[in-house]
Each structure stands twice: as C-alpha cells, then as structure tokens.
Amino acid sequence: MKINLKVWRQKNNNTPGKLVEYQLDNISPDMSFLEMFDVLNGELTKKGEEIVAFDHDCREGICGSCSMYINGRAHGPQTGATTCQLHMRSFNDGDTIVVEPWRARAFPVIKDLIVDRSAFDRVIQAGGYVSVNTGSARDANEILIPRTVADEAMDAAACIGCGACVAACKNASAMLFVSAKVSQLAILPQGKAESQQRAERMVAQMDAEGFGACSFTGACSVECPKSISLDHIARMNREYLGAKLTSDNVQG
Amino acid sequence: MKLDSKIPEGPLAEKWARHKFGLKLVNPANKRKYDIIVVGTGLAGASAAASLAELGYNVKALTFHDSARRAHSIAAQGGINAAKNYQNDGDSVFRLFYDTIKGGDYRAREGNVYRLAEVSVNIIDQCVAQGVPFAREYGGLLANRSFGGAQVSRTFYARGQTGQQLLLGAYSALSRQVTTGKVKMLTRTELLDIVVEGGKARGIVTRNLITGKIESHSAHAVLLCTGGYGNVFYLSTNAMNSNVTAAWRAHKHGALFANPCFTQIHPTCIPVKGDYQSKLTLMSESLRNDGRVWVPKTKEDAEKIRKGQLKPTDLKEEDRDYFLERRYPSFGNLVPRDVASRNAKYVCDEGRGVSKTGLAVYLDFADAIKRDGRKTIEAKYGNLFEMYEKIVDDNPYETPMMIYPAVHYTMGGLWVDYNLMTSIPGLYALGEANFSDHGANRLGASALMQGLADGYFVIPYTVGDYLATIGPADKLPVDAPAFKEAEQRVTSQIQRLLSIKGTKPVDEFHRQLGLIMWDYCGMSRNAEGLKKAKKMIQDLKAEFWSNVRIMGENEEMNQSLEGAGRVADFIELGELMVDDALNREESCGGHFREEHQTEDGEALRDDANFAYVAAWEYQGENQPETLHKEILEFENVKLTQRSYK
Amino acid sequence: MAWVTQTLSSSLGRKVIMSLTGLFLSTFLIVHMAGNLQLFKADGGRAFNEYTYFMTHNPLIITVSYLLYTSILVHALMALVLTRHNSASRPVKYAYSKPEANSPWASRNMGILGTVLLVFIIIHMRTFWYEMHFGSVPMAEYDGKQYKDLYAVVKVAFAEWWYVLLYVLSMVAVGYHLAHGFQSGFQSLGVRHPKYTPIIETVGRYFFAFIIPAAFAAMPIYVFLQVHGIL
C-alpha cells in the first residue's frame, strides 16, 4: 500500500507546530497503525531526520498510552479500539491520513504527537480511591456484592485513561473519565463512605484543570476504546448534586 | 562471596511469622526521617510505594511512563491466585505452595514460596477493600476459576482485565499518598544509574524524559520494581518500553543476577506476520480448554496451506496431526506452557507449520462449537475471538485460529534474600525484577500474586529492619562525590551514544538481538548454538557501539536515545543469558537443553548437580562473570520428574 | 453560603442551571401551545382574545411570566458563559475533525440553535408581547366587555409570507434544540434509568422535538392561508 501521511510535528510546548507530509510506499495492510509509524521513523532515521515522537507501550489496547487523532477521530475510524489496535487494512491504497495529537487546554503538547495527560492523575489524586491502608482490610467475602453491581462497577473501572473522551468531545470535557471512577466507587459498598467527598473533590479538580463542560453529545462514549456508558456521567451528576445539597461541607 | 538467603529457621509454616517478629522496627515518629526511592510503579512498585508511605516513610516513586497507571502489569489478563479455599475444593496455603514449587520445576526456595502462598489471601482482602471489582457469583460472593498447573479453583479475576484492575487499585492507593504528600511522584523519569558508596545503595541518577535533565536522588533505601527483561527477545508479549536497564545497571554495581536464562515462553500467542512486527499479543491460556491444537500430517499439505492453495477446513480429519493429543494422551491440549510451546516449535521445524511464515499451528474450535454450540463458545471466549479477528482479520468461528509461542515472562532477575534485598545492602528488588519465587517456570495467575505480595506484605516489614540498623543519619547528600561521579558516568554514556552517528537505527539492533536470542536461547537450546550466539552477540555489541544512529540531542524528549540506552543493556544481558544457559547442563521448566532430554524428548532435570540458584557477579566490561551458587534445600517436598503422558 | 456560589459556578452546577431553566421553558411551551390552539377556532378570534386577556391579568400567570423571562435570560447568558468556557478548553483546534461520526448534529450545535431561537424570541415578543403591553392594539368587545384584539395583530403579522417562513424555520430550530435539549436536561440532573430514560427520550424526540414545533408552525401557516382566502 501507498500512504500519504500528514503528521503534526512540534518540537516542544514553546514552539509552534505544523502538519508535515510524508509518503510511505511499502505498507502492508496487516501492519498495525503504530507499526506503520515504526516504519516511518526507521526511514526518517536513515535520512537523518528526527523521528516522530508518539506515546505507546503495551500495543494491545490496555495501557492507554497511545493517543492519536487520526483522520478527524480519536484513535481513528474503528470504534471500541485504541490506535495500537487499528490496522492499515482499515485504509485504502493511496489514502491521505491526517494525524494530530489530542487537543485540549488541559493536555498541552509535549512533542509531536505526545501530550501531557497528568491532569488525569491529579483528578484521581483528588479522590479517586478508597481510604484503606494496607493490612487493615477485612475478609474479601464479608461484604456481599451482587453480580450485577460488580459488573456495572467493572464496566466503569475498565477505563484505560487514554483521554480519547476529552479528545473527541467538542468541549474537551473530561466527564466520561472522571465519572467512570466516581461511578465505580459510588456503586461499590467499599467506596460508599467517601462518595460525597469524592464527587465534590474530583469535580472541583476537573474544573481546575481547565476541561470543558459536558453537553451530552455522546461523542466520548462512541470513541471510548472501552465503550464506557454515559450512564456513569448521569450517576456522577447525581452524586455531585446530592453531595452539594446534603453534605455538611458549607465551604464549597 | 557467600550467598546468604536469610531463610529463617523453623518449620515451614512458621518461618515468616518468626522472621517478622525478629525484624527490627522503626518507631512511628522516626519513620518520617527515612527516605525511600521506589523505581517503577507497576503492581510491585505502586503497592510498595503506597504501603511504605502509609507507614510514614518519605517515598519518591518514579516511572518512565506519563502516569503510574500505565505499567505493563496492566496487561495481565487471566487472574490472581490465592489460597482462600472459598470453593471448598481442598485448597490450602500448603497446596498453593506445593503447586508453585512443583510448577517451578523445583528451582525456587521453599521459604519464599511458602510465604507467597501465605500472604496470597491478604492480597485479595486488600484489593477488594480498595474497590477492585472482582467477578462475583449471583449471591454476591467472589467467583473463582481454575488455571493451568492446579487442580483447584483458586484464581480470582476481573473479566480478562485482572492485571488492569489490580494495578488501578494499587495506583489509587498510591494516588492517595501523593495527595497526603508522603509520596513524591516523578513521571516521565528514567533511572540511568544507581549510586553505591561505602557498600550501600545511596540513591539513583535519573534522566527527565521531557527535558533530558540528569538528576540525582538520595535515599536510605532503593527499591527496584522494574519488571522483567523479556524484551531482550525484541518480540515478546511485554510492552514496547519494558526494559532491563535498572536491574542491569544495579548488576554492574555488584548486584548479583540470578538464573537469567529462565524465561517463560507462552504457547498461545498470535503468530508473527512480518518483519515490521513490533510486538506479540497473548491469547489467554484458557483457550486450550476447548481448542484442539493441530498441524497437517504432511509437509506437502502444509506447504499448500502456506501458499493459500488449500484451506485448513478442507483438510480431512485423517490428514491432520493433533500432536499434543497424540504425544500426551492424558493431558492432551492442556499440557503445561513449556511443553506445549516446545512441541509447536518441533512441528514447525519439521516444515509442517502453517500461516505464510510457516511459524504457526492451528488451535481449532470446530469440535467445541459442534459439541457445545456457538453460543456457549461465544460466551466463554467471545472477547478473545474478537481481539483475534481485529489483529488477524480471520474469523475463528469459521476457520481455525493460528497460534505460536512467544516470550512472556522472565523468572530470572536480580538475586534477593528472604528480605528481598539484593547483594547490595539497601537495594531491593520486587516483583518480576527479582528471581525469587517462580523457579524455572511460573504458573498462570502467579505473577500478579507475587508482585503484590512483595509490595503490600513483604517489603513494609523487611525494609524497616535495614533502616533501623543503619539509622536516619546514614544518608549521602546529592552533592556528594559519589552522586557527581554517577551523573558524570550517565552523561558521558549519553554523549558517547549521540556521537556515534552511524547508519543503523536502534530498533534494527534490537530486532537482530531478538532473533539471535530466539533462535539460540529460546524454546530449546544446545551448547553449539549457545556458543555461536555468544559470538554473534559480541559482534552485535561491537557494531552497536560503532554504527548506531541516534538523531537529536539529549536536552529534549528523545525516544531514540531512550531506546539506545535500553538496547545497549539488553545486548549485555543477552550474553549473560547465554552463559547461564550454557552453564545449566540440565533441562528444567522454561530452560530446555537438547542434550538433556529423555528418550521421548521430555525435559530431564539433574537435581544432583543443578538444584541451585545460579547467581552471576559482574566483573567489568567484556569480562566473564563469576558464578555463585545458592544451593536449594528441599525439606518439605519430594523432587519428582514431571510427567504429562 | 460559599457552597451555593461554588456549586453554581462549577461546570456541573452551570449545567444544572441550564437544565432547570431549559426544562421549565419546555413546560412553558406546552402551555403556550395549548393556549394558542385557540387560533384554530373559527370564531373571529374571540377565544384567542379571551385567552390573551386571561394570560395578561391572572396574578399567578403574571408571576410565572416573570420567572419565564428570567429563565430565558439566565438560560441564554449561562449558555454564553459555557460556550466561551468550552471553546477556551480547546485553544488549538483540530486541523481535521469528523465529529459527525460520533455525535448527532443538534447536540453539537445547541449554541447556534439557541442563538436562532433567541433572535426569534426577540422578534416574536416585539411583534406580539410589546404590542400587547405597550403598543396600540385595537379593541374588541364580547358580551359587553372590552378586550385587546391581539387576534387582529396576529392576522396582520401572519399575512406576510416571509414572516410566516421565519416562524416555520424557527420552529424547525426549536425541534432540533429540544431533540437534544429535553433529554440532555435530565442527564444533567442525573436522572437516568434503564426504565425511564427511554420514556424521556421518546417524549423528547416525538412530543417536544416534533409535535410541539409542528403545532406552532401550523399556526402562522393556517392564519396566512385564511387571510389570503385559500382556506
């Protein structure tokens, strides 16, 4: 296959970037999208040019590192998959493919296609946990959790933190990411004790990071590699409102 | 050097309890006077960092990823073992211990393995308390499944994403400690050297992967939780960035490297398709419960299939060779990982492999679908079939799946004593980075167990003993000469790499190394091949240091520079693996020496001469390493030859 | 009261304000439409004018009407605040984006639809509400009682084809706005349930996005046809 690439190149956060065109002639349809980038980088090195920097690691759709906006869509044309799970057979010979980094104020570009997603970590640090020290847990079977509840919690917990939801949202909103964690821990009995505080703090941190507001377009859920449901956003809204109306925190 | 494993005296079941009581304690008010560096934030690292911070120590945790949540522990699918005996099927701590030691082909320490089995039950409690959504029964109790190498159901799981959920649990505990200020988290930061002074680990030198800045970090103790070295084979199920650098640089400062040749090859991976391939994808071992493994009986048919002239579904039953069922009638397709892998290799070596490359065998579900119906198979393996179809573009419901073995896990690693301390005082190794618990072969669902056991339940006790011994004042400032020298070493290596300006990209060297390792130090090894490999690796090393091409500079994000440092270390490790494989004149677990097999081609252990841990000591650039033997003593199990016929 | 201001200035709080005002405006549409159905009565506008009288003299309705004006203003202003914030959340736009692959058009264009509706509301209120309150409306007498003859104003306005067209197009915008807005309002309040959400969606899609705007659009068309003697 022949592929024309238009790739976002940007030296660092302080330098403006631009789309640069590359041509690749010997692309196998069985290659993964990232292997196609390996080929490009091999050729660039041989030509004495700097390679295209991009985040990637597990290459099996679970670590959440890869983050490319391909032909106008987060993780490319496939749904329910990450960039590393996309294969060149999804494209046609001679196609032009535009590849950009995630774009959001809260995700500044570090280099080329790599963005800084530490905002997600800070949101989790604000309350995405159960306060239990090592060694103080009681027997795992002591609290019954009905299978349907465990399954729903698992649906939310499947989030890989890739940021496709933010990238795809027209408002660069992080609601799907934040709500997945709020929801998971709100459903499970273990997370109940702190659920009000958690919702308040995580939403406050989400706002402080500069993400947009949710307008419920549903783009996040469609582009989410784990197809996380909008139900969790509704649950977070509920948790947050409930917390604001009933918690004894009068300061905010 | 005398290797002291520090296994406590006393009956097996009391060793850990006695040892814990004997360990010195740091009083609560003094804990804040100690600094601990944790390198890596996978299961072992994140759990250790969180637990130590909870105790009150000042922890600095670092990862080369953009977030602690991305460590490769996240990719573990199947589950985590624990001797809970919730199923009332006869499980016990002793049985888990026994299965693990036997599964490891009697090349692990009894004391360590027993402790692992003992704390396994606490891990499940801890994870559930953190909000890990393990699979449940309708009544609300935890569900279990069975896994290879065990006759009881003791594996806890969260769909096919157990590793992810456990890691996210540990990551959440870590995040909580970041908020309390007890953990300082450094992301996109890579360890490049370890500082040893006065016979103790004093800290580390790192490179900031965004700015290239070289920095020193001082601490009372350093924990390496940096995972395995499977990527020495280039193609493996490991993540692209998994590497041996931290362990290897510790090794160069005197930390012994134990059993480097013990690598696990997983039989059910998606086969390689082309030279461009960057990574192999594992398909859960559970597929072998229903899939039948076969290749064509004749080379001619295999050839036709490879050329696309014949479809596998057209091949008549009598023209197929179900080689596992034929050779191992009692275990059939469910033989252990190493046996299944080796046999797949043999039939492909005979020219009967399928797929364009000839390096694949069929895993056929046609009979299972006929027997149980497509619905049942879909319910069991639907997501795996989907994953397979995404990658291979074949529908496994209609045409048999193709699989081939791939490197998956490394049992070898830094030598540690019962306290998880390496041979450098103050330097610890946890999880896959150490060698301690799996012997020559790891059982399924045991990696997660070991990583978390080390981090949550072992290191919080053992590190205190060392800290209490040295006292809070025994720490170097970061401007001490030892740190400056280490920074200098790191900087000059980077400059040396950047100044080569050769013609070959880093990846090509890595790929070449991988091929050498796979061909001569992979699923089956022989002296002649290993000797040849040693020479090839030495040549590759020479070529690397004269012809590698790295673009850009240090003072920026530079992924080829990162890769170059890692590949340089892999090349050196490769040579040690070959030496270790040559030295071990027996076949055990994942290590199969062709010279040592039974008449019908099964692994032949030599307990009289090789029931020891081979711990290697670095002697300097291009010098042969020195072998130290830690003799393994078995008081509670009887060593038997495995048989699956 | 720090918690009140903090809640209402958070992204979720702002969406709650959008939701509450929006849902209130939606319920108003039902009342407005039901009342305006009087236009279809062939009684020379008597029922319509009596209804208008009631609406402008009942103290409860007058109170609610102030709430309505406030809602429109708050809904529009908050929309402006949110739109600016959302736009600032992505300072560098994508060179190439294909949002139609993952979300309905209306959901992404609530701001444009809302602006169209705001302009429409201003024109609409200038034509009828302003005339009724401050203009010179002819009087009609039923059973010896004087009524402002708003029906006459309606007839004059809807005699113009372009004015009718403006109304019809605006009602299309109402349809799209509510197709997304009605169900989205419940989402912002956290009301989502496998049993009830489908009902909300159906009501939103058929009643609010289709029947109500269609009924509204039928009014100017009906009057136009009548004035021009086609009906």
Q: Dump pLDDT digits (tens) for C107-149.
A: 999 999 999 999 999 999 999 999 999 998 999 999 999 999 9
CA distance B437 to chain A (A): 22
**A40 and A125 fall within a common domain:** no
**A175 and A135 fall within a common domain:** yes
CB pairs under 8 A between A and B: 228
Q: Dump pLDDT digits (tens) for A149-172.
A: 999 999 999 999 999 999 999 999
CA distance A32 to chain B (A): 8
* Contact: A212, C94; criterion CB under 8 Å: no
* Contact: C12, A217; criterion CB under 8 Å: no
Out of B320, B337, B352, B593, pick the active-site residue. B337
If contacts are CB pairs under 8 Å, which of residues 69-108 in chain A contact chain C? Answer: 69, 71-73, 77, 98, 100, 103-106
Residue of A nearest to B64 (CA): A57
Backbone phi, psi, residue B350, to 5°? -75, -5
CATH domain B267-406 topology: Flavocytochrome C3; Chain A, domain 1 (3.90.700)
**A11 and A41 fall within a common domain:** yes
Contacts of B240 in chain A (CB under 8 A): 56-59
pLDDT band at B444 (very low <50, low <70, confident <90, very high): confident
Backbone phi, psi, residue C142, to 5°? -125, 130
pLDDT at position B336 over 90:
no
Higher pLDDT, C2 or B560: B560
Percent of chain B with pLDDT over 90: 90
Helical packing angle, A195-208 and A118-125, nearest 10°: 150
**A165 and A237 fall within a common domain:** yes
SS3 content of chain A, % helix, strand, coil (to 5): 40, 15, 50
Q: A interface mutation test: which of C14, C97, C183, C200 has the most A CBs within 10 A?
A: C97
Burial class, B373, CB count within 10 angstroms (exposed 0-12 / middle 13-18 / buried 19+): exposed
Q: Does A173 touch chain C (CB under 8 A)?
A: yes
The alpha-helical segments, DSSP class H, found in B557-619 are 559-583, 607-610
Q: Dump pLDDT digits (tens) for C33-92.
A: 999 999 999 898 999 999 999 999 999 999 999 999 999 999 999 999 999 999 999 999
Q: Dump pLDDT digits (tens) for C164-203.
A: 999 999 999 999 999 999 999 999 999 999 999 999 999 9
pLDDT at position A108 is: 98
pLDDT at position B450 over 90:
yes
pLDDT at position B643 over 80:
no
Average pLDDT of B15-25? 97
Smallest CA-to-CA distance from A29 within A61, A51, A4, A3 is with A3
Tokens describing residue B69: 């949540």
- Which chains are adjacent to chain A, needing at least 3 Cβ pairs under 8 Å? B, C
pLDDT band at A103 (very low <50, low <70, confident <90, very high): very high
Among the three residues A55, A78, A111, which one is the final residue of a domain in this structure? A111
Among the three residues A77, A93, A111, which one is the final residue of a domain in this structure? A111
pLDDT at position B149 over 80:
no
Nearest by CB: A58 against B74, B134, B172: B74
pLDDT band at C206 (very low <50, low <70, confident <90, very high): very high
Contacts of C15 in chain A (CB under 8 A): 213-215, 237
Whether residue A252 lies inside any domain: the answer is no
Average pLDDT of B27-47? 97
Whether residue C94 lies inside any domain: the answer is no
* Contact: C101, A73; criterion CB under 8 Å: yes
pLDDT at position B380 over 90:
no
CA distance A184 to chain B (A): 8
pLDDT at position C153 is: 95
> Considering its fold, how many domains does chain A have in total?
2
Helix (H, G, I), strand (E, B) or coil at B114: helix
The alpha-helical segments, DSSP class H, found in B134-281 are 162-180, 245-252
Q: Does A16 touch chain B (CB under 8 A)?
A: no
Strands (E) located in B198-343 = 200-208, 214-218, 221-224, 257-258, 263-269, 292-296, 320-321
pLDDT at position B110 over 90:
yes
Q: Dump pLDDT digits (tens) for B247-293.
A: 999 999 999 999 999 999 999 999 998 889 999 999 888 788 889 99
* Contact: A235, C192; criterion CB under 8 Å: yes
**A102 and A137 fall within a common domain:** no
Residue for token pair 């490879």: B306
- C-alpha separations of B248 from A105, B75, B401, B566, B579 in Å: 39, 24, 38, 10, 16
pLDDT at position C231 is: 79
Whether residue A71 lies inside any domain: the answer is yes
pLDDT at position B644 is: 72
pLDDT at position B343 is: 93
Query: What is the rounded distance in angstroms from the CA atom of residue B572 to the CA atom of residue B554?
Result: 23
Q: Dump pLDDT digits (tens) for C82-103.
A: 999 999 999 999 999 999 999 9
Q: A interface mutation test: which of B279, B383, B554 has the most A CBs within 10 A?
A: B279
Nearest by CB: B179 against A44, A58, A125: A125
A102 Ramachandran zone, left/alpha/beta (phi>0; psi -120 to 50)? beta
pLDDT at position C2 is: 87
CA distance A70 to chain C (A): 9
Whether residue A176 lies inside any domain: the answer is yes
Whether residue C114 lies inside any domain: the answer is yes
Residue B39 in contact with residue B246, Cβ under 8 Å? yes
Tokens describing residue B563: 């890769």
Residue of A nearest to B242 (CA): A57
Whether residue C73 lies inside any domain: the answer is yes
Residues spanned by the domain of A30? 3-111
Contacts of B47 in chain A (CB under 8 A): 134
* Contact: A153, B131; criterion CB under 8 Å: yes
pLDDT at position B514 is: 97
* Contact: A207, C11; criterion CB under 8 Å: yes
pLDDT at position C201 is: 96
Contacts of A61 in chain B (CB under 8 A): 387
Whether residue A168 lies inside any domain: the answer is yes
Residue B405 per-residue DSSP state: E
* Contact: A241, C12; criterion CB under 8 Å: yes
pLDDT at position B335 is: 84
* Contact: B159, A154; criterion CB under 8 Å: yes
pLDDT at position B112 over 90:
yes
Query: What is the rounded distance in angstroms from the CA atom of residue A189 to the CA atom of residue B614?
Result: 48
Average pLDDT of C16-37? 96
Among the three residues A62, A77, A111, which one is the final residue of a domain in this structure? A111
pTM of the entire predicted model: 0.96
Active site residue B337: yes
Nearest by CB: A172 against C90, C97, C104: C90
- C-alpha separations of B360 from A205, B39, B342 in Å: 50, 38, 12
Residues spanned by the domain of C45? 12-86+109-227
Domain boundaries, chain B: 267-406, 481-607
* Contact: B187, A121; criterion CB under 8 Å: yes
Residue B541 in contact with residue B571, Cβ under 8 Å? yes
**A185 and A125 fall within a common domain:** yes
- Find the CATH number of the domain harbouring A50: 3.10.20.30
CA within 13 Å, CB half, B156:
28
- Find the CATH number of the domain harbouring A232: 1.10.1060.10
CATH domain B481-607 topology: Methane Monooxygenase Hydroxylase; Chain G, domain 1 (1.20.58)
pLDDT at position B638 is: 94
pLDDT at position B145 is: 87
Percent of chain B with pLDDT over 70: 100
Average pLDDT of C10-26? 97
Q: Does A59 touch chain C (CB under 8 A)?
A: no
Residues present in chain B in total: 645
Whether residue C191 lies inside any domain: the answer is yes
Contacts of A250 in chain C (CB under 8 A): 1-3
pLDDT at position B331 is: 84
CB pairs under 8 A between A and C: 147
If contacts are CB pairs under 8 Å, which of residues 93-112 in chain A contact chain B? Answer: 110-111
Nearest by CB: B175 against A81, A117, A128: A128
Nearest by CB: C2 against A213, A222, A250: A250
* Contact: B560, A45; criterion CB under 8 Å: yes
* H or E element that contains C62: helix C59-88
* Contact: B142, A64; criterion CB under 8 Å: no
- Which chains are adjacent to chain B, needing at least 3 Cβ pairs under 8 Å? A
pLDDT at position A94 over 90:
yes
Nearest by CB: A252 against C3, C95, C98: C3
Average pLDDT, chain C: 96
pLDDT at position A133 over 80:
yes
* Contact: B456, A87; criterion CB under 8 Å: no
* Contact: B276, A31; criterion CB under 8 Å: yes
Average pLDDT, chain B: 95
pLDDT band at A204 (very low <50, low <70, confident <90, very high): very high
Whether residue C102 lies inside any domain: the answer is no
* Contact: A134, B51; criterion CB under 8 Å: yes
pLDDT at position B146 over 90:
no
Query: What is the rounded distance in angstroms from the CA atom of residue B354 to the CA atom of residue B273?
Result: 12
Contacts of B507 in chain A (CB under 8 A): 38, 41-42
Residue B66 per-residue DSSP state: S
pLDDT at position B636 over 80:
yes
pLDDT at position B533 over 90:
yes
Tokens describing residue A204: 């406050």
pLDDT at position B116 is: 98
CA distance A214 to chain B (A): 25
Q: A interface mutation test: which of C93, C94, C105 has the most A CBs within 10 A?
A: C94
B536 Ramachandran zone, left/alpha/beta (phi>0; psi -120 to 50)? alpha
pLDDT band at B324 (very low <50, low <70, confident <90, very high): very high
